[in-house]
Amino acid sequence: MKKKTRIRITALFTSLMFLFSGCGKKEDSNKSQMEELNGKLTSYEKLTDEDNNIRTCYEVFVYSFSDSDGDGIGDLNGLTERLDYINDGDPSTKTDLECTEIWTMPIFPSPTYHKYDSTDYKAIDPQYGTMEDFEKLVAECHKRGIKLIIDLAVNHTSNAHPWFREASEYMKKLPENEEPDISECKYVGYYNFTKQAHSGYEMLGNDWYYEARFWSGMPDLNLDNEEVRNEIKDIMYFWLDKGVDGFRLDAVTSYYTDEKQKNIEFLEWLNKTVKEKKSNAYIVGECWADMSTYSDYYKSGADSFFDFGFSGQDGVIASVARGSKKASYYGEMLVREETLLNDVSDGKAINAPFYTNHDMARSAGYYVNDDGSKVKLAGALNLLGSGNAFIYYGEEIGLRGSGKDENKRIAYPWTASDASILKKYICKGPDGATTQMLTFGSYEDQKDDEYSVYNYFRNAIRIRNAFPALSMGRTDYKEELSGENTCVFIRRIEDLSEEEVLVAINSSGETQEIDLSSLSEYKNLKAVLTVSKDKVKLGSGKLTLPPYGIAFITK
C-alpha cells in the first residue's frame, strides 16, 4: 500500500450526534447497538491525488440496473436517477450505500447485450442513451463526490467494427497466393491474419484465418501495431476529456496470449499514456489468475488488479464464511497478500478486493440453508480488505444467479410491488435469464429492516468510510488471538499512528470470547456489525462477540 500523508476528518454528522450522543446522556434503549454506535460515525475526505483512488466502488451493468424510459432496458438516465441510492452526497443521511466510485460495464455501441465487443469506441450505445446523457451522468456523479470509471476492452473489437469489416472485405478479395498490402488497406494491420490454422483463430471464409481468442465475433487487435496504439490512446483521451476518472481494463492476460511479459509491457505503455493526460486517473485491470501471477502485473505501474485470490466460490472470503477454512486463514492471507504486493510495487500497489463480478455465480448462492448470516459476513470480509474495494450490483441485497452468464447479470429488483413508485425502474434483464432469485427480498423489502442484508452492507460501507486505516492501512495480524472461529488484526496507516483500528471477527454461529488483556489500550468500542440484536461486549480485557459479529475498537 502507498503511504498516506494527508487525511482530514470531516465535520461530525450534526443531526446524528444530536440524536445519538451528548454529554451525560444515556444510550437510547430503543435503538440497537449497531444503530447506536454506527450512527455516530464520521466520514473522512482524502485530499491528495494518491489517496483519492482508494475508495469503495460499485460495479453496474447498465442494461439491468435502472430503466428511465420504459423499454425494459437499463440506461444512463436510469443510472443517473438512482445515483442517490449509491451515494447521495450527503454524509448525514442513512438512505444510501455511500459508495464513492462507480464502474460501468461497457457502454459503447455493440451487437451484443453485454457490449464487450465494440463497434465504435467513441459513442454511447443507443440502448443506453446519448452522449449528452453520459455527460449528465458524469456531472451528477462528481456533484456527489463519486468517481466514475468505465470498462475498456481493447484486446478485441466486434467483427462488426468498421476496422474489421474493411480489413476482412479486403482479405476476402485478395487474389490467391497474394500477400496483403497495408498501404492498400491499413486496417489489415490492425488484426492478426494468417494462412495457417492455429488454436484461437477463426476462418475468414477463404484461405485466411484471423485471431479471435474469445469467439469469432471478437477479433483480436494487433497491439504491436503503432497505429492501433494511437487509436487506443485517442479513445482513452476522448473519454478522459469527457470527465471519466479512469478505466477498468478487460482481460489483460489476453492482450498477448501466454506472453505475460508482453502483457505487462503493454500495460506499462497504457498506464503511462493515461497518466500523461490525467495524473490521478485510476487504472484497474482484470488479471484472472492466481495471486502469484496477478501480483507480477503490478510491475506495469498500473494502480490495481482485481484480487481473484479472495473472490469467488472457492476464494478466501467464501471459504472462511462457509467454515471450510478457519477464521485465522483470513488474517494470514491478508498479510501474505499485502507483503507480496508491497514487494513487487515498492509499496505503490492499491489492492482491489472484490467478492464477485459479472462473470461469476452470485455470492448469495454459495451457502446452503443460510439465513443471510454468511452472506453478510462474507460481504464484510470483502469490505475489510485494504485498497479500493468493489461491490457487484445486487450483492448488497443478496441477489442470486448462477449458471449461464445471463443469470449472473439479471435485473436489479428495486421492488416486488406493482404499486411501488420504484416499479418504473425495473429492467427486463438479458434475454434467456431465469427468474430472479430473491431469497432475501427486493431493495424495497429490505430498506427499512435494520438487520436486512442491504442494511448490513450499508453499515459495513459506512464503517469502512469512517476509519481511514481500513482502506489505506497495513494489517498487523494477531495470530495468538486468532483461531478456528476468530480473527483479530490491527489495521494502521504507517505514517499516521493515530489512524488505526482493531478488528475482531467471529466467523461462527456461536458466541465467542476473546481475551484482549494483552491489548488493553484498545478499549473504545466504536462500531459493530451484527446479524441479530445480540450485542458485542467489551470490558475487563475481554471481548464477547455474538454469532458472526465483528467489532471495531480504538485506543
- Report the length, in residues, of the chain: 555
Note if 250 is an active site residue.
Answer: yes
Burial status of residue 437 (CB atoms within 10 A of its CB: 0-12, 13-18, 19 or more) = middle
CA 520 to chain centre: 36
- Cell numbers at 181, concatenated: 498490402
Sequence-distant (6+) residues with CB within 8 A of 437 are 362, 364, 365, 399, 400, 401
- In b/e form, how buried is each residue of 268-293, taking b as 16+ CB within 10 angstroms? eebbeebeeebeebbbbbbbbbebee
Q: Using alpha carbons, list the distances in angstroms from residue 271 to 223, 236, 285, 517.
A: 15, 11, 10, 48
| CB-count burial class (<10 Å; 0-12, 13-18, 19+) for 510 | exposed
Strand-pair category, 550-554 with 56-60: unpaired
> Distance (Å, rounded) from C-alpha 534 to C-alpha 545?
9
Provide Rg for the chain, Cα atoms.
24
State the catalytic residue, choosing from 133, 245, 286, 370: 286
- Separation CA 497–CA 200 (nearest Å): 53
Amino acid at 306: F
Output the CA angle 126-131-137, nearest 5 degrees. Answer: 105
Locate 480 and state its grid cell: 495468538
Of the candidates 350, 388, 366, the residue with the CA atom closest to the CA atom of residue 316 = 366
Place of cell 463526490: 145
Burial class (CB in 10 A: 0-12, 13-18, 19+), 205: exposed
Active-site entry in 166, 202, 250, 405: 250
Contacts of 172 (CB under 8 A, 6+ apart): 204, 205, 206, 208
Instruction: Report the alpha-carbon distance of residue 255 to residue 262 in Å, rounded.
Output: 8
Give the number of other CB atoms < 10 A from CB of residue 541.
14
Residues forming a β-bridge with 306:
352
Which residues are paired to 550 by β-bridges? 505, 529
Residues marked as catalytic: 250, 286
